Amino acid sequence: MRRKTRKIFYGNVAVGGDSQITVQSMTNTDTRDINSTVKQIKELEHEGCDIIRVSVKDIESTNALKAIKKQINIPLIADIHFDYRLAIESVKNGVDGLRINPGNIGSKVRIREVVKACKDYNVPIRIGVNSGSISKEYINKFGGVNEDAMVYSALDHIRILEDMDFRDIVVSLKSSDVYLTVRAYKKMAEEVDYPFHLGITEAGTVWKGTIKSSIGIGALLLMGIGDTIRVSLTGNPVEEVKVGKQILRSIGLLKDSVEIISCPTCGRTEIDLIKLVTEAEKRLKDINRPLKIAIMGCAVNGPGEAREADFGIAGGKGNGLIFKKGEIIKKVKETELLDELIKEINKP
């Protein structure tokens, strides 16, 4: 069961409550370079990114936000560290969300000004505590970098906003340690009803980071925890979105495309199954309705193992069977299997 949370809005995209779990990413261009930033955001949009964050490190970056916002279709979040003026300018320039920790901005007067701007423009704030940047005060108080230090540090930031009657809050508690991240979110889930932004920070390069993120984010989602996710990879952010979407699809939290079920192959396999599945993935990727397609190596176990699939192939020797809902409908040559399968899928 999904954890009950408040619902907040980044522009017209809802996060939390009963809304679809969203996938977000962050650009790695210089935000001041408007063309490159917009180009990258467009690529991410194309891959299905729901929300995008950009780093705002100076006033020039805040000026670029207006032009960027005009050219993109997804909500834009400004990532700011420490400087309250950049936060206010970003809000005025049209961002849909801020990522800033109020406890790091300085005096109450400054925080109040940021909160006022966010209230005036309906802009939510994400409070993000990363295990790597917890202040010494919390590390000493809680005996090290642990879930208590993370949660209570975040709670102190949250209370600052609540004291100013601001509750459009999203919370993240990231660590590069999967266990620690899971423990921190679980603990925080008992404390507040704000939506959670999930992520394993600094997860690594595409292959390793994908596995690590899938375990951490996946474990939390399976517990019903998490409302928006960001996979952090050392690589092209497009990969982050691909992985994020696939994490959601893998556990049935996103049903927007074809799911291919394929067997691992074994001594019974007599067709080039790996080539067939790779080709099928390419040719079926633009179907944007939920369909389960099974591509199995043999007719002995294939249709039976894939009974739940809408369509499927079971390989034979130089040929294969096409089946629909577990029932065999035709036998065709190996070279024609994929074309025939696609024909069946496209039948009205």
User: Distance between CA atoms of 21 and 229, rounded to whole angstroms?
Assistant: 7
The count of chain residues that interact with ligand SF4, using the rule CB under 6 A, is: 13
49 among annotated binding-site residues? no
Does 319 help bind ligand SF4 (rule: CB under 6 A)? no
- DSSP class of residue 133 equals G
Binding residue (CB under 6 A) for ligand SF4 from 145, 269, 279, 331: 269
Binding residue (CB under 6 A) for ligand SF4 from 143, 252, 264, 348: 264
Three-state helix/strand/coil letters over 235-257:
CCHHHHHHHHHHHHHHCCCCCCC
Binding residue (CB under 6 A) for ligand SF4 from 121, 301, 319, 326: 301
Does 263 help bind ligand SF4 (rule: CB under 6 A)? yes
**Residue 243 vs 338, nearer CB to ligand SF4:** 338
Region binding ligand SF4 by CB under 6 A among candidate stretches 221-229, 260-268, 317-325, 328-336: 260-268
Three-point CA angle 113, 115, 117, nearest 5°? 70
Binding residue (CB under 6 A) for ligand SF4 from 11, 195, 302, 303: 302
**CB-CB contact of 184 with 145 (8 Å):** no
User: Distance between CA atoms of 86 and 346, rounded to whole angstroms?
Assistant: 52
Token pair of 214 as six digits: 């899938």
Token pair of 227 as six digits: 């409302």
Q: Where are the beta strands (DSSP E) in 181-249?
A: 197-198, 228-230
The residue of the chain with the least Cβ separation from ligand SF4 equals: 297
Does 298 help bind ligand SF4 (rule: CB under 6 A)? yes
**Residue 231 vs 306, nearer CB to ligand SF4:** 306
User: Distance between CA atoms of 55 and 75, rounded to whole angstroms?
Assistant: 14
* Short-list 301, 300, 296, CA closest to 311: 296
263 among annotated binding-site residues? yes
Residues annotated within a binding site for [4Fe-4S] cluster: 263, 266, 298, 305
Binding site for ligand SF4 (CB under 6 A): 263-266, 268-269, 296-298, 300-302, 305
Detail the residues annotated as belonging to a binding site.
263, 266, 298, 305
